[in-house]
């Protein structure tokens, strides 16, 4: 975000610098929005101060206050809109570039300052991260996901085995307790089938 006060004091220098970034038009819009805010704000503050009357107001003062309130309401709406527009443009306008920064918008316009090490060379076509991600999405899933699926299948098998051999532990029958499978209690997932409850270490 640019320094708005500095931009007011030297708009030509800011405009010339922002032209290098293609933001001169947005900068002019920002100055216009800032000017609109600064034109409305003094009158709003004046009307806010006029509402404060010492002592009991007279009938004439009450009538004047009604007019002040109405004018203030309209101006506050205009001020809020102007401040919103200025904030929007402040977010859009970039900071001026450094004088040593070369002009341009592409990688070819950049200037190499220094290099550390030697770029690696490969005997096969190199893919970027987008191509690698596209290739990974067409596979059957990452190894970690397949391993978790195998573990879940093994837990289901053990549960079924425990039930068929009658080795299912029912545990305590206190209020709120339910039977669990002791042979696969290391799996932090609910076992399949009725009568199983979740148990973790």
201 residues of the chain, pLDDT tens digit each: 889 899 999 999 999 999 988 899 999 999 999 999 999 999 998 888 877 777 777 777 777 778 788 888 889 999 999 999 999 999 999 999 888 888 887 888 888 888 888 888 889 988 888 988 987 766 555 555 544 555 455 545 544 444 444 444 444 444 444 555 555 444 444 455 555 455 544
Which tokens in the block code for residue 196?
A: 């199983």
Which residues lie below 8 Å from residue 188, measured CB to CB, with a gap of 6+?
198, 200
Instruction: State if pTM tops 0.85.
Output: no
Q: How far apart are CA 155 and CA 148, in angstroms?
A: 11
Phi, psi (deg, nearest 5) at residue 180: -140, 165
Domain ranges of the chain: 4-98, 143-171+178-201
Picking from 12, 35, 9, 15, the residue whose alpha carbon sits closest to that of residue 27 is 15
CATH of 4-98, one of 1.10.8, 1.10.3470, 1.10.287, 1.10.720: 1.10.287
Q: How far apart are CA 160 and CA 182, in angstroms?
A: 12
Burial class of residue 152 in the structure, from the number of CB atoms within 10 Å of its CB (0-12 exposed, 13-18 middle, 19+ buried) = middle
What ranges in 93-195 are assigned the alpha helix state H? Answer: 129-137, 143-165
């Amino acid at each position: 975000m640019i320094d708005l006060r500095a931009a007011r004091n030297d708009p030509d220098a800011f405009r010339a610098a922002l032209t290098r970034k293609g933001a001169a038009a947005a900068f002019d819009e920002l100055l216009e929005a800032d000017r609109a805010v600064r034109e409305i704000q003094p009158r709003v503050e004046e009307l806010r101060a006029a509402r404060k009357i010492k002592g009991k107001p007279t009938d004439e003062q009450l009538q004047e206050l009604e007019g002040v309130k109405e004018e203030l309401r309209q101006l506050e709406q205009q001020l809020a809109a102007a401040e919103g527009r200025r904030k929007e443009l402040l977010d859009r306008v970039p900071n001026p570039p450094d004088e040593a920064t070369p002009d341009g918008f592409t990688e070819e316009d950049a200037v190499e300052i220094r290099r550390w090490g030697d770029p690696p060379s490969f005997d096969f076509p190199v893919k970027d991260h987008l191509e690698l991600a596209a290739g990974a999405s067409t596979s059957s899933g990452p190894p970690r996901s397949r391993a978790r699926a195998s573990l879940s299948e093994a837990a289901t098998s053990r549960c079924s085995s425990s039930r068929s051999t009658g080795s299912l532990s029912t545990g305590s029958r206190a209020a709120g307790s339910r039977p669990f499978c002791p042979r696969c209690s290391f799996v932090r997932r609910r076992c399949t089938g009725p009568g199983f409850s979740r148990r973790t270490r």
